[in-house]
């Protein structure tokens, strides 16, 4: 899942970037409204964390312009403004969620996960593929009820594929959603990660397979290899 | 607690009672005098009646009198008395007196044409009143025998009657007056209470409305709509003005508290997020170092905000500051230059202009430095590139003015009144991280404490802060 953070406080930028990466998101961070509008308009993100008091372009203006341009990206407003009229205004202008500073980091992560699930038409926090189940809130993967040890990136890769189960995704899409702007992967990093995940799933007896469609991409399906 | 109604009641009752007593006493004296005069007129008429019965023939004077005609002078239970004198010689006396051996009426000597009235004890012991008047007797022209005319003889007529009727009338008058006095006093209490109630009603209504004043606008409107007499209108106006002023102050304080809470949200959010993220990866040494560094920076920012708040509080509480003669340009130039880097980093044109013969000023240098420093920081941090930022020093015969001008396209005229409010920022301001939001508030308070005048003006997106400083 790839998240764009538009926040002008450098210290909060650092904390958000680090914390969201720890939670398995790919994160891009920008510090002003104009840049935020450019990044958010690229349709790469599963969700945007948007501050309201931003230099150059106010957060509400960013929100209005994005929605005006037809952007469907999920936007969570993260702001110090706690008045009801501020919340109403932001939600009325197209924000999907609103969180007031100071906030619990776990709550921010949970809200972002809920937004990304919603982006893929799902509401339950568990993604299943055959006998394999991913708990997106607990960040655990189990095969026939037995926990399978995966790294953060492997979990994120499985989640990305599971959300698009049956639909092929390209290598580029995987790169975009697993790695932020500042963490461009090496050319074979995606293949390497896919190979490791395949091996771990097979070893655990998962019926879920990551299949390669030549010339198209990769798809997660339940069934024999 | 003393009561206005009680004091007015007592005062009104006392004054009313005194006036009533004086009025009744005067009326009693007047009525008493009228009764006495009526009684005396009757007494005099008795004496006159006796005098008309006198007849003079030559030297001889006779009284043509009989008890049948005037039985009141006969001897009975409550007789009246008379005694007639011609000079030193007693001419006649009433039967009632003649039958009392040794008894005699007093013989006053009235001046010619005058009448004397006296209180006396009648020969039978009753209280009486006496009249004495000298009458000229009706006489015939000349003595028939001698032909001589001696002229009218002068007879002193003394009549004495009991004064029981007079005393009874006076007593009835007195009792009547007393009863009337009591009735009027009761009436005074009852009517006085009603008059006081009516008179104090506006005051009671005012107290009632004031007692119910709350922070809703409707209660102030009730005060404004209250019908009051002219005398209470200034009280209402003053209370309304004070209440409004208090409400404005409370509103400012509420906004300041809200702004302060808002200002603290971001650093607290930074601190909390930094700590929570660091706790997720306790083994990440560099990450922990970074988190600790961020936490320290956040703490320093908050410390700076607290210092600014304390400075603001001290400036608000400060007594008028002592002033000294200083060269203003020497004060302004280094402060202006110290803000240049920030202004130019934000793309502002930054210039200082002064008249060549700028006179010295009378200032408290630290206070005016604080004011200028904050004005310059505000121009550098908030000014936009629509106008050059300029500091102009100019003087007239009375004062020297420092004009700090910068572009402020986001400001509206309505914002001017809030420029000195702590933590207030114009809508869409982008300088949150760089400024505490207390600069102009501190400038305004320091200017006030230093006896300077700081004002703001907005003309077509150009904000001008004017600091007026008296010449030395």
Minimum-distance CB partner of A12 among B270, B287, B428 = B270
Yes or no: say if B89 and B81 are a contact pair by the CB < 8 Å rule.
no
Stated as kind and residue range, the H or E segment containing B201 is: helix B164-211
Write out the two tokens for A209: 């397979």
Name which of B273, B265, B284, B285 is nearest A15 in CA terms: B273
Query: With an 8 Å Cβ cutoff, are A12 and B287 in contact?
Result: no
Stated as kind and residue range, the H or E segment containing B37 is: helix B4-52
Using DSSP's 3-state secondary structure scheme, residue B398 falls into coil
Q: What is the DSSP string of B112-141?
A: TT-EEEEEEE-TTS-EEEEEEEEEEPPB-S
Alpha-carbon separation of residue A66 from A32, A36, A80, A100, A181 (angstroms): 15, 10, 21, 21, 20
**What is the per-residue pLDDT for B434?**
53
In this structure, are strands A26-30 and A2-6 parallel, antiparallel, or unpaired?
Answer: parallel
Mean pLDDT of chain B: 86
Q: In this complex, is the C-beta atom of B260 within 8 Å of any C-beta atom belonging to chain A?
A: no
d(CA A134, CA A115): 17
Mean pLDDT of chain A: 87
Name every chain A residue with its beta carbon within 8 A of the beta carbon of B430: 8, 32, 53-56
Alpha-carbon separation of residue A147 from A133, A139, A140, A157, B434 (angstroms): 9, 11, 7, 17, 49
Residue-wise burial string across B351-379, b where 16 or more C-beta atoms lie within 10 A, e elsewhere:
ebebeeebeebbbbbebbbbbbbbbbbbb
Write out the two tokens for B308: 């600014």
**What is the per-residue pLDDT for B148?**
66
Tell me: the pLDDT tens digits for A129-164?
A: 888 998 887 788 999 889 888 888 888 888 888 888
Residue B1 has pLDDT above 80, yes or no: no
Work out the average pLDDT over B90-118: 91
Write out the two tokens for A97: 């969620």
**What is the per-residue pLDDT for B179?**
94
Minimum-distance CB partner of A101 among B265, B287, B290 = B265
Residue A165 has pLDDT above 80, yes or no: yes
Q: In this complex, is the C-beta atom of A104 within 8 Å of any C-beta atom belonging to chain B?
A: yes
Work out the average pLDDT over B282-287: 83
Name every chain B residue with its beta carbon within 8 A of the beta carbon of A111: none
d(CA B269, CA B277): 12
- Whole-number percent of chain A with pLDDT over 90: 36
Tell me: the pLDDT tens digits for A177-190?
A: 777 665 656 667 78
Query: With an 8 Å Cβ cutoff, are B262 and A102 in contact?
Result: no
Q: In this complex, is the C-beta atom of B32 within 8 Å of any C-beta atom belonging to chain A?
A: no
How large is the ipTM? 0.74
Write out the two tokens for B409: 């396209």
Using DSSP's 3-state secondary structure scheme, residue B328 falls into helix
**What is the per-residue pLDDT for B431?**
46
d(CA B352, CA B331): 13
Work out the average pLDDT over A168-185: 74
Tell me: the pLDDT tens digits for A114-123?
A: 898 887 777 7
Write out the two tokens for A171: 């290598």
Mutation pick from A13, A17, A18 vs chain B, by most beta carbons of B within 10 Å, is A18
**What is the per-residue pLDDT for B35?**
92
Q: In this complex, is the C-beta atom of B433 within 8 Å of any C-beta atom belonging to chain A?
A: yes
Residue A225 has pLDDT above 60, yes or no: no
Residue in chain A lying closest to B287 (CA): A18
**What is the per-residue pLDDT for B218?**
67
Tell me: the pLDDT tens digits for B159-168?
A: 999 999 899 9
Sheet holding B81-86, edge to edge: B89-93, B81-86, B154-162, B127-136, B115-121
d(CA A73, CA A47): 6
Stated as kind and residue range, the H or E segment containing B316 is: helix B285-317
Q: In this complex, is the C-beta atom of A22 within 8 Å of any C-beta atom belonging to chain B?
A: yes
Q: Determine the straight-line distance between the first and last CA of chain B, rounded to whole angstroms.
A: 55
The residue whose two tokens read 């408290």 is: B364
């Amino acid at each position: 899942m790839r998240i764009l953070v538009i926040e002008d406080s450098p210290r909060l930028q650092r904390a958000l970037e680090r914390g969201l990466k720890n939670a398995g998101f790919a994160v891009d961070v920008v510090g002003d409204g104009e840049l935020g509008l450019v990044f958010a308009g690229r349709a790469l993100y599963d969700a945007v964390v948007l501050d309201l008091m931003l230099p150059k372009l106010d957060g509400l203006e960013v929100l209005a312009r994005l929605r005006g341009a037809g952007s469907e990206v999920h936007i969570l407003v993260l702001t110090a403004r706690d008045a009801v009229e501020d919340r109403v205004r932001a939600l009325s202008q197209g924000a999907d969620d609103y969180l007031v500073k100071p906030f619990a980091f776990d709550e921010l992560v949970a809200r972002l996960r809920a937004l990304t699930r919603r982006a893929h038409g799902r509401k339950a926090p568990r993604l299943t593929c055959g006998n394999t189940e991913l708990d997106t809130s607990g960040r655990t993967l189990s095969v026939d009820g037995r926990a399978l040890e995966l790294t953060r990136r492997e979990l994120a890769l499985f989640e990305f594929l599971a959300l698009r189960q049956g639909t092929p995704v390209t290598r580029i899409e995987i790169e975009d959603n697993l790695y932020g702007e500042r963490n461009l992967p090496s050319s074979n990093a995606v293949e390497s990660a896919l190979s490791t995940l395949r091996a771990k799933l097979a070893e655990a007896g998962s019926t879920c397979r990551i299949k390669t469609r030549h010339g198209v991409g990769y798809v997660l399906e339940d069934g024999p290899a | 607690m003393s009561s206005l109604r009680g004091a007015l009641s007592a005062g009104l009752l006392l004054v009313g009672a005194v006036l009533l007593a004086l009025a009744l006493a005067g009326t009693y004296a007047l009525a008493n005098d009228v009764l006495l005069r009526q009684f005396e007129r009757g007494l005099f008429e008795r004496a006159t009646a006796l005098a008309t019965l006198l007849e003079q023939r030559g030297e001889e004077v006779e009284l043509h009198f009989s008890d049948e005609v005037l039985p009141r002078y006969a001897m009975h239970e409550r007789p009246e008395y008379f005694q007639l004198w011609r000079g030193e010689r007693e001419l006649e006396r009433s039967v009632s007196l003649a039958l009392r051996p040794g008894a005699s009426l007093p013989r006053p000597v009235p001046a010619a044409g005058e009448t004397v009235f006296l209180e006396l004890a009648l020969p039978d012991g009753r209280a009486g009143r006496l009249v004495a008047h000298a009458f000229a007797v009706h006489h015939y022209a000349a003595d028939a025998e001698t032909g001589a005319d001696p002229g009218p003889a002068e007879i002193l007529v003394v009549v004495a009657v009991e004064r029981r009727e007079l005393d009874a009338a006076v007593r009835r008058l007195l009792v009547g007056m007393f009863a009337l006095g009591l009735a009027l006093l009761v009436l005074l209490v009852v009517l006085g209470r009603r008059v006081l109630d009516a008179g104090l009603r506006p005051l009671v209504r005012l107290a009632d409305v004031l007692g119910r004043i709350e922070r809703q606008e409707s209660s102030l409107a009730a005060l404004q709509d209250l019908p009051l007499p002219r005398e209470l209108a200034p009280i209402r106006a003053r209370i309304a003005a004070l209440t409004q002023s208090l409400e404005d102050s409370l509103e400012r304080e509420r906004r300041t508290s809200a702004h302060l809470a808002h200002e603290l949200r971001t650093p607290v959010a930074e601190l909390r997020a930094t700590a929570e993220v660091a706790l997720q990866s306790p083994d990440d040494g560099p990450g922990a170092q970074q988190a600790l560094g961020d936490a320290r920076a956040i703490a320093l920012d908050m410390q700076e905000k607290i210092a600014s708040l304390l400075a603001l509080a001290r400036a608000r509480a400060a007594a008028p500051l002592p002033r000294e003669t200083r060269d203003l340009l020497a004060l302004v130039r280094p402060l202006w230059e110290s803000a240049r880097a920030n202004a130019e980093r934000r793309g502002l044109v930054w210039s200082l202009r002064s008249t060549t013969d700028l006179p010295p000023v009378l200032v408290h240098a630290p206070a005016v430095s604080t004011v200028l420093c904050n004005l310059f920081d505000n121009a550098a941090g908030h000014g936009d590139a629509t106008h050059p930022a300029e500091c102009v020093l100019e003087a007239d015969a009375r004062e020297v003015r420092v004009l700090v001008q910068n572009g402020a396209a986001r400001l509206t005229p309505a914002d001017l009144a809030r420029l000195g409010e702590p933590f207030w920022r114009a809508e869409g301001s982008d300088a949150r991280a760089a400024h505490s939001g207390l600069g102009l508030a501190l400038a305004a308070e320091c200017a006030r404490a230093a006896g300077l005048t700081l004002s703001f003006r907005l003309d077509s997106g150009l904000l001008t802060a004017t600091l007026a400083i008296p010449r030395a």
